[in-house]
């Protein structure tokens, strides 16, 4: 009996020590904050209610905006998807990554210029934010659009433990209703809507969370083409359209493209509304699981709205980002300015607004800073840490300029060029015509008045700085097409 008592005592001591040891290991992880990053495809700056849309309805996003820092001068790293997506994951400028067009791009061979050869996948030697967080003990989950490489370069190869729907195609291959024809997404019941499905997969992931922190990276395919209405909400916006006095689409010429100037598309509106409903569902799940307070939520878009197109693929662009000029594909404000909300953890302020210019490749430094992860001194990151702005919305970053490098043609009518923003000033270079345009965004957000002829010194200074930044990142340029002169 005495032996049995000693044996049981030993078992109890071992069990107690083991339990305490487990608690010590789990507690630091539990104290770490979580990250929910929502990236919407092609969502325009004016496609949300809190930025002024009256035809589209986004009540859940509008509610989130009140409990977040609203960034009024937020920019995508590029005016098209793949470069911005690569920049978010790496913190590097598209020019440095040599991913400067959507993958695989569509460089025509019968135009005056030839676009440079850029990469068709995000290299595996790039250290993604998912890999950084996973190494730090985070559960990493990806759902939705990837568009950064084919087999072998998918999310599961870049730090995500789980990949739902992420593949090389930049649009939903089977459309927005099941069957999806997506090799990374099992078909749902007939009629299931893709935006709903991606949200359901994400909430199911949240149900598995216990003590480990998480990085949930939800990349909605919506509102990318094909524009397929959510049938549940379509009538709501068809009826709303009938109440408007002006129901005629207005357009203006932009290069070889046409820009839509008013929001009147009920199909598109129903897609935006469905997305908003699902974001409401996600936030409700966070609150149900008591995860909301300790989760930083980032909501943004990969480029400007599809407001400008060349006739052919679509007769009329599905949305408008007016008063901004042009849309996706262009380096005018309509192509690069995007909505951005960041709700920090344990945030109890309301209606915090930052006018500081920020850009997609800032998220990498921001997330690592919030997660208290130190990067090696030789780790190249082009973005800035936005966490001081989350504490004080009036905080000014120590950054003088932003620049964009897009030396390719695009179906919106854009021709190869680049742009730089410094303070209120913005310069755009058009390589095909060898021309430059200069705008003061403080007085002319719509970029209607070109001030280049009256400000030659400013044009010269900004041009020199733009070229200096491009050279520092070994940015590849468009070249003259030797066969172009033979084309009629």
Q: What is the CA radius of gyration of the chain?
A: 24
Read off the pLDDT of residues 67-98 as tens digits, 9 standing for 90 and up: 999 999 999 999 999 999 999 999 999 999 99
Q: What whole-number distance in Å separates Cα of residue 103 and Cα of residue 355?
A: 32
Biggest alpha carbon distance in the chain? Answer: 103
Could you give the domains of the chain? 32-396 (3.40.720.10)
Residue 121 has pLDDT above 60, yes or no: yes
pLDDT above 70 covers a percentage of the chain that reads: 93
pLDDT at 459: 98
Instruction: Considering only residues 134 and 24, tell me which one the structure prediction assigns the higher pLDDT.
Output: 134
Three-state secondary structure string covering the chain: CHHHHHHHHHHHHHHHHHHHHHHHHHHHHHHCCEEEEEEECCCCCCCCHHHCCCCCCCHHHHHHHHCCEEECCEECCCCCHHHHHHHHHHCCCHHHHCCCCCCCCCCCCCCCEECCCCCCCCCCCCCCHHHHHHHCCCEEEEEECCCCCCCCCCHHHCCCCEEECCCCCCCCCCCCECCCCCCCCCCCCCCCEHHHHHHHHHHHHHHCCCCCCEEEEEEECCCCCCCCCCCCCHHHHHHHHHCCCCCCCCEEEECCEEEECCCCCHHHHHHHHHHHHHHHHHHHHHHHCCCCCCEEEEEEECCCCCCEECECCECCCCCCCCCCCCCCCCCCHHHHECCEEEECCCCCCCCEEECCCEEHHHHHHHHHHHCCCCCCCCCCCCCCCCHHHHHCCCCCCCCCEEEEEECCCCCCCCCCEEEEEECCEEEEEECCCCEEEEEECCCCCCCCCCCCCCCHHHHHHHHHHHHHHHHHCCCCCCEECCCHHHCC
- Residue pair 67/343 in contact (Cβ under 8 Å)? The answer is yes
Question: Which of the pair, 61 or 14, is modelled with greater confidence?
Answer: 61
Hunting for tokens 């909505």 — which residue is that? 339
pLDDT at 44 over 80: yes
| Spatial separation of the C-alpha atoms in residues 454 and 441, rounded to whole Å | 16
How are strands ordered across the β-sheet holding 214-220?
A: 162-164, 139-144, 214-220, 34-40, 295-301, 340-343, 69-71, 352-354
pLDDT of residue 113: 97
Label residue 314 by pLDDT band (50, 70, 90): confident
Read off the pLDDT band of 20 (50, 70, 90).
Answer: very low
What pLDDT shows up at residue 210?
A: 87
**pTM above 0.85?**
yes
pLDDT at 211: 86
pLDDT of residue 31: 78
Measured N-to-C along each axis, helices 363-370 and 81-90 cross at an angle, to the nearest 10 degrees, of 30
Averaged confidence pLDDT in the chain: 93
User: Does position 30 have pLDDT exceeding 70, yes or no?
Assistant: no
Report phi then psi at 260, rounded to 5: -80, 135
Per-residue pLDDT, 311:
80
Residue 46, pLDDT > 50, answer yes
What CA–CA distance (Å, rounded) separates 69 from 390? 7
Output the CA torsion sign for 154, 160, 161, 167. negative
Is a pLDDT exceeding 60 seen at residue 25?
Answer: no
The three-point CA angle 287-268-322 to 5° equals 100
pLDDT of residue 13: 37
For the segment 283-300, the average pLDDT, to the nearest whole number, is 98
Structure tokens at 168: 């090389």
């Amino acid at each position: 009996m005495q032996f049995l008592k000693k044996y049981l005592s030993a078992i109890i001591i071992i069990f107690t020590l083991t339990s305490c040891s487990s608690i010590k290991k789990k507690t630091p992880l539990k104290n770490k904050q979580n990250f929910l990053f929502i990236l919407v495809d092609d969502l325009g700056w004016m496609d949300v209610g809190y930025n002024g849309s009256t035809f589209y309805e986004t009540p859940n996003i509008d509610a989130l905006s009140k409990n977040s820092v609203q960034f009024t001068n937020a920019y995508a790293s590029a005016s098209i998807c793949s470069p911005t997506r690569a920049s978010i994951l790496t913190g590097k400028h598209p020019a440095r990554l040599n991913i400067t067009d959507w993958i695989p791009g569509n460089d025509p061979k019968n135009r005056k210029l030839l676009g440079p050869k850029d990469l068709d996948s995000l290299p595996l030697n790039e250290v993604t934010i998912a890999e950084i967080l996973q190494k730090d003990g985070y559960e990493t989950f990806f759902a939705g659009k990837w568009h950064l490489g084919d087999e072998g370069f998918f999310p599961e190869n870049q730090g995500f433990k789980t990949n739902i729907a992420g593949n090389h195609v930049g649009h939903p291959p089977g459309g927005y209703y099941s069957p999806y024809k997506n090799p990374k997404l099992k078909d749902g019941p007939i009629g299931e809507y893709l935006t709903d499905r991606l949200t359901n997969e994400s909430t199911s992931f949240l149900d598995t969370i216990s003590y480990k922190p998480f990085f949930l990276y939800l990349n909605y395919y919506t509102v990318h083409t094909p524009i397929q209405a959510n049938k549940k909400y379509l009538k709501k916006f068809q009826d709303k359209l009938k109440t408007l006095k002006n129901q005629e689409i207005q357009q203006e010429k932009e290069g070889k493209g046409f820009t839509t100037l008013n929001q009147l598309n009920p199909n598109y509106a129903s897609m935006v509304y469905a997305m908003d409903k699902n974001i409401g569902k996600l936030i409700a799940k966070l609150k149900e699981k008591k995860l909301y307070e300790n989760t930083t939520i980032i909501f943004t878009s990969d480029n400007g709205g599809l407001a400008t197109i060349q006739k052919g693929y679509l007769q009329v662009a599905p949305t408008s980002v007016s008063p901004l000029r042009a849309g996706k594909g262009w380096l005018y404000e309509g192509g690069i300015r995007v909505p951005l909300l960041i709700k920090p953890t344990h945030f109890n302020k309301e209606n915090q607004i930052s006018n500081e210019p920020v850009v997609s490749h800032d998220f990498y430094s921001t997330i690592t800073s919030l997660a208290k992860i130190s990067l090696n001194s030789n780790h190249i990151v082009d973005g800035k840490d936005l966490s001081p702005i989350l504490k004080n919305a009036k905080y000014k970053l120590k950054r003088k300029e932003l620049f964009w490098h897009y030396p390719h043609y695009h179906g919106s009518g854009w021709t190869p060029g680049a742009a730089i923003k410094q303070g209120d000033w913005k310069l755009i270079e058009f390589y095909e015509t060898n021309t430059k345009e200069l705008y003061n965004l403080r007085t002319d957000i719509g970029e209607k008045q070109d001030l280049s002829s009256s400000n030659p010194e400013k044009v010269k200074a900004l041009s020199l700085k733009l070229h200096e930044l491009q050279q520092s990142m070994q940015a590849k340029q468009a070249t003259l097409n030797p066969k172009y002169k033979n084309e009629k």
